[in-house]
Structures are given as C-alpha cells and as structure tokens.
Structure 1
Amino acid sequence: MADNGRSTLPLPDYDHLPIGGLESRVRSLTAGEVEELLAYERTHADRLPVTELLTSRLEQLEAGAEPTSGDPGALRPEQSQRHTGSPVSPATSPQPHSPPPHGTPDQRGKPKGDRM
C-alpha cells in the first residue's frame, strides 16, 4: 500500500494534526515546505480552513517573515489527552422539574382533559 508521499512531508504527522496544532507547527517551515504541504492538501483533503492557513503563511514568508521554532507544545496527535470522564455527576445534575408528558411506569401521564 502506497503512502502517497505522506512520509516525505515536512510534517510527517500532517494528516492527523488538528488545525490548532497545524497553525503553530507551520511557523517553523520554509516557504518551499509550506508550498509542498499546500500542494499535498489541495490534491488530498482540500480543506478550506487549512488551505487558507497555509496560503496565509506562505504570503507571510514571501513578504519577509522568517521561520520560527513554532510552538513545541502545540496539539499533536501523538500526545494523548487523558479524559477522566464527564464532570457531570448526580450531585451536579439538575433535578427534573416534571415527569415527561407520557408519564413513567410508576407515574402515569394525565389525559389532556384533566390538565390545567
């Protein structure tokens, strides 16, 4: 199975980067590397926010911006974020205001004529 050039991209994990992580990590790339990613993006997923981001960065570099180190703490797919579950608990859940209109097994719904 071919990797379609993914392993030769300037950012090897490019396909799995969230846009927030991509924005920070492309700062370290040269104009040629950004062009390479842009060409890859256009021929593969062609995601508008990503092409706009890469085009903007390419314009900055062509206007004289220098590659920087980027943010090493940027979101990376290889950094698993541990989720400990929902912060919602029975203690923080609101109490129901009334039973559903169809009733429950222990509390039958009322016919419409009996409602006030």
Structure 2
Amino acid sequence: MTDSAHSTLPLPDYDHLPLGGLESRIRSLSSDEVETLLAYERAHAHRVPVVELLGTRLDRLRAGAEPTSGDPGAVRPEQGGHRTGSPVSPATSPQPMSPPPHGTPDQRGRPKGNRT
C-alpha cells in the first residue's frame, strides 16, 4: 500500500492509536475494513500485538460476529489535554537527608569536617 492508501484507511488516525484505543474502535468495522487495516499494518509497522488483534477480530467477523458501535470514548490521540509527568510536588516530596556512608546503610552520613 502506498501513502495514498493511508488516507483511505477506515480509521483516519490509525497510525496514532494506542493498542487499547484500537481494540475498541475496530469493533465498528466490517471484515473488509479490518482486512484493509491488517494489510496496511503488515506492509508498514508490522506490530505483532496489532496484527494479532486485527487477525482475531477478522476471524470473529468471518465466524458471524456483527460490527458494533465500538467504544466512542476509547483513547484517541486527538483528544489531547491529558496531564502527563510526575505528580510529585514539594508537598509530596520526602525530607532531604544525607546519603548513608558506604557499608552502613542504617546510619546517616556526616560531613567530612565532622569526623573523628
């Protein structure tokens, strides 16, 4: 498939969907549409979990499963605004401490000028 095939995929944001979002959104696709995605995936990224997911869905559709509405709230990369990063703040940070001296992790370290 060429890049023009990318624009005709049944899920326009397919390349950016995480596995969890893809799993939910392919439920609404027909077997032909799943076959299109599977061929595209094999020709491009060939991610094993995605190939297995699409293959399993295709098998179910061929066995008589019907497309459903899928989960409209599935993870979508176009729905930005999710906060990322560490939730650590000064209020949740531990108290500062000196690292322990080598060999005795149960004792706090002392500054070099304070040794006797």
TM range (shorter): 0.7 to 0.9
Please give the alpha-carbon distance, in whole angstroms, between the structure 1 residues aligned to 2:63 and 2:6: 28
Write the letter of the residue equivalent to 2:80.
Answer: S
Aligned residues: percent identity? 72
SS in structure 2 at match of 1:88 = coil
1:89 CA drift (Å): 1.2
- Residue matched to 2:60: 60
Q: TM-score when scaled to structure 1?
A: 0.80
Task: Kindly tell me the number of residue pairs found equivalent between the two proteins.
Answer: 109
Runs of 4+ in 1 over 6 A off after TM superposition: none
Given that residues 27 and 70 in structure 1 are in contact (C-alpha distance below 8 angstroms), is that contact kept between their aligned partners in structure 2? yes
- Residue matched to 1:13: 13
Please give the alpha-carbon distance, in whole angstroms, between the structure 1 residues aligned to 2:113 and 2:11: 60
Please give the alpha-carbon distance, in whole angstroms, between the structure 1 residues aligned to 2:95 and 2:70: 47
Write the letter of the residue equivalent to 2:29.
Answer: L
- Residue matched to 2:91: 91
Write the letter of the residue equivalent to 1:35.
Answer: E
SS in structure 1 at match of 2:3 = coil
Superposition CA RMSD, Å: 2.8
- Unaligned stretches of 5+ in structure 1? none
Matching of residue 25 in structure 1 with residue 25 in structure 2: yes
